[in-house]
């Protein structure tokens, strides 16, 4: 029962994020592209009702994620978010009335099976709730430094796969660190109440990094093809969260010969995520037109 609550709420958060992704991607494609990070992008998006609907889904996802992190280990909760991509395509297929082809379903099975193998063999454990400041400082410095490097590297390249992959990696880092801070903040809320929560630096820390992650995500959507950014974002968030769970919260995963099946599970996730990102429905979420029936050019069509 102890593991059931965080798993259920993590899955709920993944579903809400999937709905948010579909709505936000459609909104992001209705505003002008930019070769640089553009603060006005958020103001443009805020005028789109579909984006506001996506933000409501983001709020629901954040609440579900907070409950999951408050009751479970970071290295258990965050890897479950790799299901966002298959859930995103399932939601998109329903909203846009498109049928998933067998290849897409095979890729979905691949992601789910890979996640199951990785979690079952890694068997994450531990649920420390307090992290001393001398652990937060180096973790924040490393994560912040890597994000800065990836952003600079991204905008040294033109719109395309490299830029999208770099921004996807930076976004994954921000989301992972946000989750790490959120875990401590939700524990403080549970133990010290609202006053403790509002006076804890972790609360404002995860708010700032969360907004930063959202800002990077919106720019990632416009940086290049989904096949370049989504696998990096999906797998990166999970792997970085496991590392943060181990280094910050003293969580544990199996080592030794268990590493081999763990890597096999990760490989299945990468293969499945890449295949899903290449599907026509996934690509249409990054195109300027609305998903619909197949065209003579083969740009759109059932998955």
pTM (two decimals): 0.78
Q: Which has the closest alpha carbon to 137: 248, 249, 251, 216?
A: 248
The widest CA-to-CA distance across the chain, in whole angstroms, is 61
Question: What residue numbers bound the domain in which 227 lies?
Answer: 4-284
Is 303 among the domain residues? no
Q: Which has the closest alpha carbon to 173: 153, 193, 145?
A: 145
Q: What is the pLDDT of residue 1?
A: 47
pLDDT, tens digit, 9 for 90 and up, residues 226-254: 777 778 888 888 889 999 989 998 888 88
Confidence of residue 2 (pLDDT cuts 50, 70, 90): low
Q: State the CB neighbour count (10 A cutoff) for residue 297.
A: 7
Q: Is 57 helix (H, G, I), strand (E, B) or coil?
A: helix
H or E segment and range at residue 97? none
Count: domains in the chain? 1
Is 301 among the domain residues? no
Residue tagged 């709905």 (tokens):
19
User: What does the alpha-carbon distance between residue 152 and residue 97 come to, in Å, rounded to a whole number?
Assistant: 39
Q: Is 299 helix (H, G, I), strand (E, B) or coil?
A: coil
In this prediction, residues 274-283 reach a mean pLDDT of 76
Is 292 among the domain residues? no
pLDDT, tens digit, 9 for 90 and up, residues 116-148: 999 999 888 777 778 889 899 999 999 999 999
Q: What is the pLDDT of residue 294?
A: 35
Half-sphere exposure of 143 (CA within 13 A, CB side): 28
Is 291 among the domain residues? no
Is 300 among the domain residues? no
Is the sign of the CA dihedral 290, 291, 294, 296 positive or negative? positive
pLDDT, tens digit, 9 for 90 and up, residues 166-202: 888 999 999 999 999 999 999 888 888 888 889 899 9
Is 298 among the domain residues? no
User: What does the alpha-carbon distance between residue 158 and residue 54 come to, in Å, rounded to a whole number?
Assistant: 28
114-to-79, 104, 201, 222, 262 alpha-carbon distances in Å: 11, 15, 36, 29, 9
Is 94 among the domain residues? yes
Is 132 among the domain residues? yes
User: What does the alpha-carbon distance between residue 232 and residue 295 come to, in Å, rounded to a whole number?
Assistant: 30
User: What does the alpha-carbon distance between residue 58 and residue 16 come to, in Å, rounded to a whole number?
Assistant: 7
User: What does the alpha-carbon distance between residue 142 and residue 135 come to, in Å, rounded to a whole number?
Assistant: 11
H or E segment and range at residue 248? helix 226-249
pLDDT reading at 283 higher than 80? no
User: What does the alpha-carbon distance between residue 179 and residue 26 come to, in Å, rounded to a whole number?
Assistant: 26
User: What does the alpha-carbon distance between residue 171 and residue 21 come to, in Å, rounded to a whole number?
Assistant: 14
Q: What is the pLDDT of residue 288?
A: 41
């Amino acid at each position: 029962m102890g593991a059931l609550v965080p798993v259920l709420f993590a899955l709920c958060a993944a579903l809400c994020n999937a709905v948010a992704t579909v709505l936000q991607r459609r909104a992001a494609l209705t505003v002008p592209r930019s070769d640089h990070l553009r603060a006005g992008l958020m103001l443009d998006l805020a005028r789109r009702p579909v984006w506001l609907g996506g933000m409501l889904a983001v709020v629901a996802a954040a609440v579900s994620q907070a409950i999951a992190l408050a009751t479970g280990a970071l290295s258990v909760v965050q890897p479950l978010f790799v299901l966002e991509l298959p859930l995103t395509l399932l939601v998109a297929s329903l909203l846009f009335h498109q049928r998933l082809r067998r290849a897409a379903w095979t890729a979905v099975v691949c992601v789910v099976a890979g996640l199951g193998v990785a979690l079952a063999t890694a068997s994450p454990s531990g649920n420390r709730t307090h992290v001393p400041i001398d652990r937060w400082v180096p973790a924040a410095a490393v994560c912040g430094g890597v994000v800065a490097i990836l952003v600079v590297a991204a905008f040294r390249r033109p719109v395309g796969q490299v830029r999208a992959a770099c921004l996807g990696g930076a976004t994954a880092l921000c989301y992972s660190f946000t989750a790490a801070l959120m875990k401590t903040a939700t524990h403080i809320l549970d133990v010290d109440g609202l006053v403790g929560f509002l006076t804890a630096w972790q609360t404002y820390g995860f708010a700032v990094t969360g907004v930063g992650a959202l800002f990077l995500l919106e720019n990632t959507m416009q940086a290049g093809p989904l096949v370049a950014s989504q696998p990096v974002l999906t797998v990166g968030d999970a792997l970085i969260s496991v590392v943060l769970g181990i280094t910050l919260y003293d969580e544990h995963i199996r080592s030794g010969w268990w590493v081999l099946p763990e890597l096999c599970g990760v490989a299945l996730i990468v293969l499945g995520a890449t295949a899903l990102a290449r599907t026509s429905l996934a690509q249409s979420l990054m195109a300027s037109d609305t998903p619909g029936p197949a065209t003579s050019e083969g740009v759109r069509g059932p998955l």
